[in-house]
Amino acid sequence: MFTWDLRDLNSEQSAAVVEPLSLFLIACPGSGKTRTLTYKIAYELSRRTDKRIIVAITYTHRAADEIQERIEDLGVDTSGLWIGTIHSFCLEWIIKPYGIYSPALAYGYRVIDTHDRELLLESLCASHRGVTHWDCNYYVTENGYHLGCPDARKHNAIHEVLAEYFKELSASRQIDFEQILWHSHALMRNHANISVLLSRVFSHILVDEYQDTKQIQYSLVTSILRAGRGQTKTFIVGDPNQAIYGSLGGFAMSVADFRARAGIPIKELALSRNYRSSNRIISYFSNYSVHATSINGVGKHAKFPSLVTYNRVVAHTDVHDELVRLIQVSLADGNLPENICVLAPWWILLASTTRKLVAMLPDQQFDGPGLVPFSNDFDNFWFKISKILLTESSPRLLVRRMRWANDVIKDLSDFGVDTTRLTSRKLLRECNALAIDETDGLCYLDLAFTDLLERLNISQGSFPPLSSHREAFFSSSAARIEKLQKDGASYINQVSFFKKVFRERSGITVSTIHGVKGAEFDVVIAFGLLEGMVPHFNEANGHVVASKLLYVLGSRARKHLYLISESGRPRGRYGVYSPTESLAACHFNYD
C-alpha cells in the first residue's frame, strides 16, 4: 500500500486522495492540484486487486510526462497506468480497436500533421479575401461543429472553406484532431457495447484541468462511467476560474450536471490553500474571480511584501524600455532569470518584443513555447525521436528517455516494422552512439535520423509513414525557423539551441497568457492588457473572458506582479487601443 509522510499532503489533499467515492475536486491556484492528482493515482495503483487500468487524461503531453515521472519517483509501479491527452486516449482506446466499425475509418486513416493542416487550409482560403487558416479553427460537439472565429462577418466564407477541407480530408483518408473526437463519439454512440467494454477495462478515469474540457469530451467520459454503473470511479480536478479556452469549446461543467450525465454518486471537495503566492498577490487576482472560491495563503511567500503595479501611461513605443527596466530591477533583486516571465495576450505582440529584448539584453537567454525551433507536433514520429536525440544520456533522465523509447518502438510496430528484437535499451544505446559533427539543428537531425535507421536496419522507403512523418517534420520545422529568424531570433537554428528545448527552464520566459497556464514565477510582467486583446475583440461574454485571463495571469506570480496597458497602440487606421475595461475598473491599492 502506498503511504506518505504527513508533511507531504495537507488535510484537504489527503481527504481527496483517500476518498473511496468518485470525486469532483475544485482546486484554487497554487493549491497542489498536480501533487494531489499524482498521489491519488499512486494510491489507487498501489491498491489494484485486478488487472483493470487506471486512466489519467491531461490537457497537454507535457503534463502527462510530469505526472508520470512524479509517480515513478514515488516508487510506484506504473504498469497499470495509462496517461495522456484526450486525443491520444481516443486513438488508443476507441479508434484503433473499434475504427473498423466506422465507414470513414474502416479502410485506414492518417492523422493529419498540424503543418499539413495549415498548408491545406491556407490554400483553400486563397480564394476568400481576408480569411486565413487562423480563422478556420473549429471544435466539434455532439451535434456538429462550431467556429472558433469571433468575427461573424467571416463565417460564411469559413464554412465554405471547411466544406472543401472536409472533402479533401475524406478523399485522402485523413482526419484532424477534432475529427478524432467526433469519430470516437460516433463510434460510442452507435455501438453502446464499446462503453460497456471500456468500463470493464478501466477501474478509474481521472481528468485534469476539467475546466478546459469540451462538451464532446465530457460525453465520452460520462458514457463510460454511466455504462460502468459505479464500477468505474472518476476523479475530476480543476478550477472554473481558469476556464480560458472557451473559444475552443472548453467550459467548466458543474458537478450537478456531471453527476447527472454520469449517473453515479460523485462527491464534491475543494483545495483552498495557496502555497504559491503572497497574500497581496492573492488579494489582487481574487478580484477577478468568476466563481466564488475560498483561497488562503499558507506558503512561504504568504507574508512577502509584494509589489503589484499598474502602468497606463507608458507609450507603446517605449514599452520595450519599460520591460527591460523591470527585468533588470528583478534580476538586481536576486530573482533568477528562469523565475521571470514576460506575458502578452497575442504572439504577434511577443514576436517583435522578443526580438528587441534579445538585442537589448544580450547576456540573457529567453525561453518559451513560441521559441521552440522545430516542429512540436507531439504525435509526429520524428518529433518523438528528436526528444531522445536532443537530451543527454544521464541517470537522471533514464526513466523519461526509456518511456520515450517505448513510444517510438510502439509507433514502429504500428507502421509495420518488425520490432520483436528492438528493446528500449537497445534503441537508447543506438541513439547515444551517434556521433555527428554539425552545428545547424535541422541538418543535425536529418543526419541523425538517417544514421539511426541504418543502425536499426530499417529501410525508410519500405514504410510510407516514416517518409510522410519525416517530410511533415522538416517542412514544418523549416517554416518555423524561417519565421523566428525573421522575428530576430538569428540563433534559433543552432543545434545548441535545439538541445535546450527539452531541458529545464533556464532563461526568462516569454509567452502568451494561455501558454503559461499551470506555470509559476517569482516575477510576472504583462503588457498588451488592452480592450480588444484582453478580451479578444468580438469575444462573446467579453467581461467574463477578460476576468478569467486576468485571474490566470495574476495567479502565476509568487512575489511581484507588473501590469501594463500601454498607451497609443494603433487599432485599425485611425483608432488606438484603450486599457482592458475589467482591469481599469478594478479598484486596488497599486504600488
Least confident stretch, 410-424, 536-550, 574-588? 536-550
Tens-digit pLDDT profile for residues 171-210 = 999 999 999 999 999 999 999 999 999 999 999 999 999 9
Helix or strand (DSSP H, E) at 565: none
Q: Which three cell numbers stand for residue 167?
A: 472533402
Whole-number Å distance between alpha carbons of 181 and 191: 15
Longest dimension (CA), the chain: 69
Q: What is residue 293's predicted lDDT score, i.e. its pLDDT?
A: 87
Whole-number Å distance between alpha carbons of 475 and 470: 9
Q: What is the DSSP string of 135-172?
A: GG-EEEETTEEEE----GGGHHHHHHHHHHHHHHHHHT
Report residue 246's pLDDT band, with 50, 70 and 90 as the boundaries.
confident
DSSP assigned state of 504: P
Least confident stretch, 284-288, 399-403, 431-435, 583-587? 399-403
Whole-number Å distance between alpha carbons of 54 and 41: 8
HSE (CB half, 13 Å, CA atoms) of 179?
Answer: 20
Q: What is residue 488's predicted lDDT score, i.e. its pLDDT?
A: 65
Residue 490 has pLDDT above 90, yes or no: no
Structural domains of the chain, ranges and CATH numbers in brackets: 11-95+190-271 (3.40.50.300), 110-172 (no CATH), 279-367+507-584 (3.40.50.300), 381-498 (no CATH)
- In Å, how far are 14, 33, 36, 68, 363 from 7, measured between CA atoms? 10, 16, 13, 22, 40
Q: What is residue 379's predicted lDDT score, i.e. its pLDDT?
A: 83
Q: What is residue 287's predicted lDDT score, i.e. its pLDDT?
A: 97
Report residue 97's pLDDT band, with 50, 70 and 90 as the boundaries.
very high
Tens-digit pLDDT profile for residues 352-403 = 788 788 889 988 988 776 667 777 778 889 999 999 999 988 887 888 899 8
HSE (CB half, 13 Å, CA atoms) of 320?
Answer: 14
Least confident stretch, 9-18, 482-491, 526-535, 572-581? 482-491
Residue 247 has pLDDT above 90, yes or no: no
Residues 6 or more apart whose CB falls under 8 angstroms from that of 171 comprise: none
Whole-number Å distance between alpha carbons of 175 and 112: 6
Q: Which three cell numbers stand for residue 270?
A: 475543494
Q: What is residue 165's predicted lDDT score, i.e. its pLDDT?
A: 97
Phi-psi region at 416: left, alpha or beta (left = phi > 0; alpha = psi -120 to 50): left
Report residue 518's pLDDT band, with 50, 70 and 90 as the boundaries.
confident
**Predicted TM-score (pTM) of this structure:** 0.89
Share of the chain above pLDDT 70, in %: 98
